[in-house]
């Protein structure tokens, strides 16, 4: 058993009023100090290439989607958020997704899909805001997931740099 001895208060502290005035002085001073609030919708936090936002699909510079619908990200996804239906294509890579959906309500932004992807086709973007009035509206189809490679460039470079370490 631990007995904690309370410190005896001095008379000055026991009459309480001087300490109250001291406290009041502190709060009054604080009124004129700079604010720390960030006005969120107007002032967002700065994002960097390390920011792990929502996953996005890469559209290569020639206008084709980089995904070959191998299904590795679908398998890696711990939240079962990804659904892929593949189809054949005339292009050299032979396969592309017919349907690629990410249920953003399920997505936990873990980044496993990015790690699993052998074709550098899916990356975590710096887009973080997620709001809708229906559940169906938050199941993102291919059209809403596609981003040109140029906008994802910093993240792509970052992931390549990290991967080189191993």
Can you give the length of the chain in residues? Answer: 166
Residue 59, Cβ neighbours under 10 Å: how many? 21
Residues 16-55 touching other proteins, rule: CB under 8 A, are 17, 20, 23-24, 26-28, 30-31, 33-37, 39
Nearer to other proteins, 23 or 137 (CB): 23
Nearer to other proteins, 8 or 90 (CB): 8
Query: Measured at the alpha carbon of residue 156, what is the angle toward residues 151 and 161, in degrees to the nearest 5?
Result: 145
Residues 101-130 touching other proteins, rule: CB under 8 A, are none
End-to-end CA distance of the chain: 52
Q: How far apart are CB 71 and other proteins at their closest, in Å?
A: 47
Which residue, among 123, 128, 126, has the nearest Cα to 159 in the 3D structure? 123
Q: What is the total count of residues that contact other proteins (CB under 8 A)?
A: 15
Enumerate the H helices of the chain as residue ranges.
11-14, 17-30, 72-76, 112-116, 142-145, 153-164
Q: Rounded to the nearest 5°, which phi and psi values hold at 19? A: -65, -35
Nearer to other proteins, 1 or 26 (CB): 26
Q: Is 3 in the site for other proteins (CB under 8 A)?
A: no
Q: How far apart are CB 47 and other proteins at their closest, in Å?
A: 23
The residue ranges that bind other proteins (CB under 8 A) are 17, 20, 23-24, 26-28, 30-31, 33-37, 39
């Amino acid at each position: 058993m631990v007995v904690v001895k309370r410190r005896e208060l001095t008379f000055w502290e026991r009459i309480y009023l001087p300490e109250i005035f001291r406290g009041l002085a502190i709060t009054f001073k604080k009124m004129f100090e700079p604010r720390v609030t960030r006005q969120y919708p107007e002032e967002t936090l700065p994002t960097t290439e390390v920011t792990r936002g929502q996953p996005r699909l890469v559209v290569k510079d020639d206008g084709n989607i980089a995904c070959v619908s191998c299904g590795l990200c679908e398998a890696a996804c711990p939240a079962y958020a990804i659904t892929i239906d593949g189809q054949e294509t005339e292009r050299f890579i032979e396969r592309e997704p017919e349907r690629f959906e990410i249920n953003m309500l399920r997505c936990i932004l873990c980044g496993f899909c990015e790690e699993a992807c052998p074709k550098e086709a899916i990356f975590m973007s710096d887009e973080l805001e997620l709001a809708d009035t229906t559940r169906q509206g938050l199941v993102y189809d291919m059209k809403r997931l596609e981003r040109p490679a140029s906008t994802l460039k910093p993240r792509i470079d970052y992931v390549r740099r990290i991967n080189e370490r191993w």
